[in-house]
Structure 1
Amino acid sequence: MEKGFEFLSIQPFEDKRGSLKKIVMKSQLHENEHIEEVYVLYSEKESVRGNHYHKKTIEFFTVVSGIAKVALQNLTTGEKEERSISASDNLVMKVPPYVVHGFKNEGDQPLIILALSSKEYNRLDTDTFAVNILE
């Protein structure tokens, strides 16, 4: 059974100054995929974000700081996955349409997630449909 969602492993460039992590490159996108919006999520201890899916939007997420409990469910196949992810895991989550996604801050420090979206947010057409996957 195909999950639909992906965890993409990234390889940071590291030297004495620190590290550089390329989150998404044009060469990783399919011909019909593009990025219209980039934003950062800041979440306090025990808070939950997401708990929704999109019908048109593809999103990419990576943990910058903290520990996220991530829950994903493909509404087409029924495939589910739940795991904890931190910045040191060097993962980018690719979440296509019809995949419910939720993030919970399980750590004591604020959770910071970088997000990229194929659709710019429009409050008149949010393309956001609530599903409670994570509490």
Structure 2
Amino acid sequence: TNVYLVNKLISALENTESKPHLLFSSSSQEEKDNLYGASKKQGRELLASWAKKSGSAFTGLIIPNVFGPFGHPYYNSFIATFSHQLCNGELPQIQIDGEVKLIYIAELVSAIIDEIRSKKGKDICVIPHSKERKVSEVLQLLTQYQQQYFLSGIIPDLRSTFERNLFNTFRSYIDIEQHFPVKFVKHADPRGAFVEVIRLNVGGQISFSTTVPGVTRGNHYHTRKIERFAVIKGKALIQLRKVGSDKVLDFYLDGDEPAYVDMPIWYTHNIKNIGEGDLYTNFWINEFFDPNDADTYFENV
């Protein structure tokens, strides 16, 4: 299939006398003895030959195993498959516990943009992996995220950028509509009530806000930040919409039954006071606010 599509592309380029800077996404499977790797390599070599004859720029990207949010389970990567299984009560099975060279999708995008901006062609452009792990080591981390976060609401210890990226990938397979809002355990006695808002194995920043009736906060999304909205007094409507989608998710929270919603990455979100009194909300986020690297992109829900 790869070779067939490459030949069709070359034919179209020749018929239209086009000479773009062409980038071809190949795979580290090129070095393996399998049909997929062989077809990827053949396709890259055909395009490199066309570029040489036509005088066009060509970059043949050799890409390691890519992971990231929203990948298709049983297709894109074992991380997508394992995350999907763990969030749906299934038991992942390791077929071969080998070392895997990994790159997060955002890191790959950055590398591709750098290649485009360089305006230089390379028949072979090896994209370096950012982490190498055994399959069992990755599964151990994902299982930890399931036990701590998915089942208990505890933010796990994310010691590295890789672990944060892996955790955000795992979170993207949670059925948001079914999982949230999560109600806190409320301890009440004649003195009043006590609620434990968050358990953390990681640092970050906790903020508190009051919102007057009818006012909406937010309408932005994040690509890496992990964020929790906890309503402790008043009535709130939290809305989420995945960027690129028209589907809006509505979550109604009431301080009489304190609860939280965690913001998934790539979902624009807001919170509105729909009550008659002030709305009190606790916000936790996994990193300090940095105006020079805010990871905050404004888009209406």
- TM-score between the two structures when normalised by the length of structure 2: 0.39
Identical pairs, percent: 20
Partner of 1:82: 250
Partner of 1:10: 184
- 1:50 pairs with one of 205, 218, 224: 218
- Return the letter of the residue paired with 2:199: M
Partner of 1:123: 291
Partner of 2:199: 25
Q: Which runs of 5+ in 1 are unaligned?
A: none
Partner of 2:235: 67
The Cα of 1:126 is off from its aligned counterpart by 1.0
Separation of aligned partners in 2, 1:75 and 1:3: 16
Which secondary structure state, in structure 1, belongs to the residue aligned with residue 275 of structure 2?
coil
Structure with more of its chain in strand, by fraction? 1
1:61-88 Cα offsets, whole Å, 9 max, x none, are 1112221121012338876311321112
Distance 1:78 1:9, change over 3 A: farther
The Cα of 1:35 is off from its aligned counterpart by 3.6
Q: Check the 8 A contact 2:233/2:258 in 1, yes or no.
A: no
1:16-54 Cα offsets, whole Å, 9 max, x none, are 21111111113xx6xxxx341000122122111011111
Q: Check the 8 A contact 2:180/2:251 in 1, yes or no.
A: no
Aligned CA RMSD, in angstroms, stands at 2.3
Residue range with higher mean Cα deviation, 110-119 or 80-89: 80-89
- TM-score between the two structures when normalised by the length of structure 1: 0.81
The Cα of 1:9 is off from its aligned counterpart by 2.2
Partner of 2:266: 98
Q: Check the 8 A contact 2:227/2:284 in 1, yes or no.
A: yes
Which secondary structure state, in structure 2, belongs to the residue aligned with residue 119 of structure 1?
coil
Q: How many residues align?
A: 127
Separation of aligned partners in 1, 2:275 and 2:236: 8
- Return the letter of the residue paired with 1:112: Y
Separation of aligned partners in 2, 1:3 and 1:59: 17
Residue range with higher mean Cα deviation, 84-93 or 67-76: 67-76
- Return the letter of the residue paired with 2:273: N
Structure with more of its chain in helix, by fraction? 2
